[in-house]
Amino acid sequence: MELIRKGAEAELYLTTYKGRPAVLKRRVPKRYRVRQLDEYIRKTRTRREARLLERARRAGVPTPSVYHVDEERTEIVMQYVEGERAKEYLLRTGDAGLMRKIGEHIALLHGNDIVHGDLTTSNIILADTGLHFIDFGLGAVSTSIEDKAVDLVCFRRSFVATHPEIADAGWNALKEGYGRYPRAPDVWERFEQVVRRARYL
Ligand SMILES: Nc1ncnc2c1ncn2[C@@H]1O[C@H](COP(=O)(O)OP(=O)(O)OP(=O)(O)O)[C@@H](O)[C@H]1O
Ligand SMILES: [Mg+2]
C-alpha cells in the first residue's frame, strides 16, 4: 500500500476495495498517552468518523462512502475521492466565491445537527461530483447552538491563518451560504459571544 499522508493522528494509504480505489485511514498509537486511554480515544474517533460520514451524506453533504470499519485496528477503508483540496484550490486561484458553497454545505450539516469538529480547507475535497467533506473524527451529533458556533469559530481561525488574502471576502461568502440554515442568526449571535469570551481567556 502506498502511504499518501501521515497526518497529525492518522496514516493514510492508497488501496483498493473490491476493485475500487480506496483510502485506508489508520489511527496510530500516541506514545505520550496512557495506552488504555489512547486505545479508547482511537476507537471512539474511528467509530465516530464512520458514523458521521454516513450521517453527513444522508444530510445531503457528499462524503466518501465507508467501505469497511475495523474498530479493533482503528482503521476505516473509504472511497477515494479524486480531486483537489479546497486549501490548494483557494491558494492557487484566490476564488473566495467557493466559500459560499462551503457555507451551504455547513448549513446542511448543522441543519441536521452534525458538528464537524475540525473544519479546515484541508478537510474539503473538490470533486467533479461536488464538494466532499472528510475527517469527522472530532465531530458530534448535537442540537446545541453553542457547539455549532464553536465549529465556525474554529473554522474562522484556521481559515484566516491559511488564507489571509481572502479572509474577509471568503468569510462574507461563507456567511451568505450558511444563511440557508434557518437558525443561522442565532449561531452568528453566539459566534460573537464565543469570540469575545475567548479574548478574555
Ligand atoms: N477519502 C479520501 N479521498 C481522497 N483523499 C483523502 C481521503 N481521505 C483523506 N484524504 C487525504 O488525506 C489527508 C488527511 O486525511 P484526514 O484529514 O482524514 O486525516 P488527519 O490525520 O486528520 O489529517 P490532518 O491531521 O492533516 O487533518 C486529507 O487532507 C486528504 O488530502
Ligand atoms: Mg484532516
Predicted confidence band of residue 45 (pLDDT cuts 50, 70, 90): very high
Res 39: pLDDT: 96
Q: What's the whole-number average pLDDT of the chain?
A: 97
Query: At 12, is the secondary structure helix, strand, or coil?
Result: strand
Q: Are the C-beta atoms of 109 and 101 separated by less than 8 Å?
A: no
Q: Percent of the chain beyond pLDDT 90?
A: 95
Q: What atom of ligand 1 comes closest to residue 87's alpha carbon?
A: 29
Ligand 1: residues with CB < 6 A are: 5, 7-10, 12, 23, 25, 64, 78-81, 85, 122-123, 125, 134-135
SS3 63: coil
Residue extent(s) of CATH 1.10.510.10 domains in the chain:
84-200
Every domain range in the chain assigned CATH 3.30.200.20 = 2-79
Per annotation, catalytic residue among 118, 135, 147, 186 = 118
Q: What is the pLDDT of residue 190?
A: 98
Q: What is the pLDDT of residue 199?
A: 85
User: Among all ligands shown, which has an atom nearest to the Cα of 74?
Assistant: 1
Residues 6 or more apart whose Cβ sits within 8 Å of residue 124: 85, 86, 87, 102, 105, 131, 132, 133, 134
Q: Which residue has the cell 497529525?
A: 8
pLDDT tens for 147-190 read 999 999 999 999 999 999 999 999 999 999 999 999 999 999 99
* Element of type H or E holding 35: helix 35-58
Specify the fold of 2-79. Answer: Phosphorylase Kinase; domain 1 (3.30.200)
Which pLDDT band, with edges at 50, 70 and 90, does 42 fall under?
Answer: very high
84, pLDDT greater than 80: yes
What mean pLDDT comes out for the span 29-54? 96
Which grid coordinates belong to 33?
498517552
Residue range 84-200, CATH number: 1.10.510.10
If you measure from the C-alpha of residue 170 to the centroid of ligand 1, how many angstroms do you get, rounded to a whole number? 23
Q: Does position 80 have pLDDT exceeding 90, yes or no?
A: yes
2, 60, 90, 126, 165 from 171: Cα distances, Å: 36, 22, 13, 18, 11
Query: For ligand 1, atom 16, which residue shows the shortest CA distance?
Result: 135
Pocket test of ligand 1: the residue of 24, 135, 138, 158 to mutate, having most ligand atoms within 8 Å of its CB, is: 135
Q: Is the pLDDT of residue 201 over 80?
A: no
Tally of CB atoms within 10 A around 167: 15
Active site includes 118? yes
pLDDT at 7: 83
Atom of ligand 1 nearest to the CA of 49: 18
